[in-house]
Amino acid sequence: MEILSQTVDNLACNNTCKPISSTFHGIPVVDLLDPDAKTQIVEACKEIGFFKVINHSVPMEFMSRLECEAIKFFNLPRLDKEKYGPPNAFGYGYRKIGPNNDVGWVEYILLSTRPEIISQDAQVVLPGSSEILWSLINEYVSAVKNMTCSILEMIIEELKIGPKDVLSSLIRDEKSDSCFRVNHYPPCPERQALSGENLIGFGEHTDPQIISVVRSNDTSGLQICMRDGTWVSVPPDQSSFFFNVGDSMQVITNGRFRSVKHRVLAHRLKSRVSMVYFGGPPLSTKITPLSSLMEEGEEELYEEFTWSEYKNLANKTMLGDNRLGLFEKPVGQ
């Protein structure tokens, strides 16, 4: 693509990883029609922090339409797209990820889902020719938010703590600081010249929010880090959704759930498009373990912080930094 036509050398030397193991087929798959779905979700959150959801009721045709419209946007001439960036904090961006010199083989649109900001995004972020895209994004975000809230309520029910909406209410709140991102990873044939190394599309990181939901086209590239530090490739599935446990959820569950580290590798021949919904609480929300979940005598593993404080920290640190480490309490404190 023209927007990413710079030579790959500088990007590759700073953002490459050696070839990893083959595709991992142990990703937990949760069928929402299965009576045991709640149990499977909680087990996946504890073991990996990552799972796939099927039978989610979001129509495939609808997701495909959004993907097609997003591709139309990314196929616009470079100068047209640059009118809507760089993102601050929302808008169009390419290569540069955040304010701290993280880069990747990616271009993207980042949008807030808050009602008072959405109307501004429609005018500032997206070109007038993308009214269909904007409409589809709104529908998609609404559908995925509802699904996410249902998943969070299933988690609370399975943990047998209440109230049921203790987490979902944070996402449904009109001041919820959730956001939506569409990523485009152009094909990278130059990778063949890198002696077997893989070009990073989006570097390793954890998501700071409560939970995030990913849907992509049928192109590989997403990888997650297992507990032993091994990177494994997630088989693509354009008809399903993948859920990531975020840093905030790890704190809320006092470490019972694992915030999963993940990254994306650029594909040599195929374009990858992903859509990510990040479920975040209102800025003033205090992130601390749920008292109803804590067992008698159990010590809190993290210092309390607000979502605003943690979000600001995330904006000041590098993509791969261990942000939660700054809030870990000494053992026995």
Q: In the structure encoding, which two tokens stand for residue 159, read together?
A: 């943990």
DSSP 258-312: ----EEEEPPSSS-EEEEEEEE---TT-EE---TTTPPTTPPPSB--EEHHHHHH
Q: Is 283 exposed, middle or buried (0-12, 13-18, 19+ CB in 10 A)?
A: middle
Number of CB atoms found within 10 A of residue 59's CB = 11
Distance CA 17, CA 99 (A): 23
Q: For 114, which DSSP code? A: -
What's 327's DSSP letter?
G
Cα angle 107, 108, 113 (rounded to 5 degrees) comes to 170
Whether 272 is catalytic is yes
d(C-alpha 221, C-alpha 202), whole Å: 10
Helix (H) or strand (E) holding 182: strand 179-185
Listed in sequence order, the residues at least 6 apart from 135 whose beta carbon sits closer than 8 Å to its beta carbon are: none
The answer to whether residues 241 and 144 touch, using CB atoms and an 8 Å cutoff, is: yes
Q: What do you get for the CA distance between the two ends of the chain, in Å?
A: 53
Give Cα separations from 222 to 139, 225, 236, 311 (angstroms).
25, 10, 8, 24
Catalytic residue selected from 114, 191, 272, 323: 272
The residues that are catalytic are 272
